[in-house]
């Protein structure tokens, strides 16, 4: 894959982008556990979700919910089906454009912060971009990244998203943990929300049919 970057970008960016593309290929199954908590005044909501999914070249293509509760009660079939559809067919404005993905390099400006860390600033101020930093190891693998999204959920005034990546299979890297934190107001009341997501149980498959059968 040809990687095109701005002339003023840090020299390491090209190697990092190449490495990301090379270590995101293949058909890989995973398990996701997401815990969502929000509170404002006397109102609160707690969600606990476990699902199995399939990645094809880093993109979610199939999911199956294992369990999904809202305030301790199982979500109904329609709610679960809608959530599965959101994962399998996300709206274009809901998927973050990774600043080290070769497809999105032109959407950001970059500068070196220190050895192994690059700061990025979005040139497109929308829901799929943000401003932050990412860090990479000696082999140019991105190990962490964090950012402030350019567009926030309803009622939120500020937000920070932080991810940790690891080599989950030989030659394959993926996010293993994400934390989202938001602060805002709902009417007269200050509020806050947190999302904790963990990915695990990664398995590689030769084709989609075999991966789907294992879900």
Band of the pLDDT at 181, cuts 50, 70, 90? Answer: very high
> Which CATH number is 137's domain given?
2.50.20
Q: What is the mean pLDDT of residues 171-199?
A: 94
Q: 71 in a domain, yes or no?
A: yes
d(CA 103, CA 175): 18
Q: Is 92 helix (H, G, I), strand (E, B) or coil?
A: helix
Angle CA 212–59–61, to nearest 5 = 30
Q: What is the pLDDT of residue 3?
A: 54
Residue 6, in any domain of the structure: no
Query: Can you tell me the distance from the alpha carbon of 121 to that of 181, in angstroms, rounded to the nearest whole number?
Result: 20
State what percent of residues in the chain have pLDDT above 90: 82
Q: What is this structure's pTM?
A: 0.91
Domain range for 41 is: 12-214
CA 188 – CA 166 distance, rounded (Å)? 42
Give the pLDDT band (50/70/90) at residue 1: low
What pLDDT shows up at residue 191? Answer: 93
Domain count, the chain: 1
Q: What is the mean pLDDT of residues 193-215?
A: 96
Residue 7 lies in a domain: no
pLDDT (tens digit per residue) in 42-88: 899 999 999 999 999 999 999 999 999 999 999 999 999 999 999 99
Dist. CA 192–CA 23, nearest whole Å: 35
Summarize pLDDT for 93-149 with one digit per residue, the tens: 889 999 999 999 999 999 999 999 999 999 888 889 999 999 999 999 999 999 999
Judge whether 92 lies within some domain: yes
- 124: its two tokens: 């497109």
Please answer whether residues 144 and 128 qualify as being in contact, where contact means their C-beta atoms are separated by less than 8 angstroms. no
Rg over alpha carbons for the chain, rounded to the nearest Å, is: 18
């Amino acid at each position: 894959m040809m990687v095109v970057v701005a002339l003023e970008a840090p020299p390491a960016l090209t190697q990092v982008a190449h490495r990301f593309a090379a270590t995101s290929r293949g058909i890989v199954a995973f398990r996701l556990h997401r815990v969502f908590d929000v509170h404002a005044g006397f109102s609160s909501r707690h969600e606990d979700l476990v699902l199995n999914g399939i990645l094809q070249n880093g993109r979610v293509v199939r999911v199956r919910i294992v369990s999904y509760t809202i305030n301790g009660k199982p979500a109904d079939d329609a709610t679960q089906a809608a959530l599965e559809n959101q994962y399998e067919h996300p709206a274009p404005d809901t998927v973050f454009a990774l600043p080290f993905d070769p497809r999105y390099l032109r959407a950001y400006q970059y500068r070196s912060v220190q050895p192994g860390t690059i700061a990025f600033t979005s040139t497109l101020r929308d829901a799929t971009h943000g401003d932050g930093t990412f860090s990479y190891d000696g082999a140019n693998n991105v190990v962490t990244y964090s950012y402030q999204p350019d567009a926030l959920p309803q009622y939120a005034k500020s937000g920070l998203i932080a991810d940790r990546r690891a080599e989950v299979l030989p030659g394959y890297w993926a996010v293993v943990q994400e934390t989202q934190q938001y602060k805002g107001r709902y009417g007269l009341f200050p509020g806050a929300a947190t999302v904790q997501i963990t990915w695990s149980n990664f398995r590689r498959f030769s084709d989609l049919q075999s991966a789907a059968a294992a879900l």
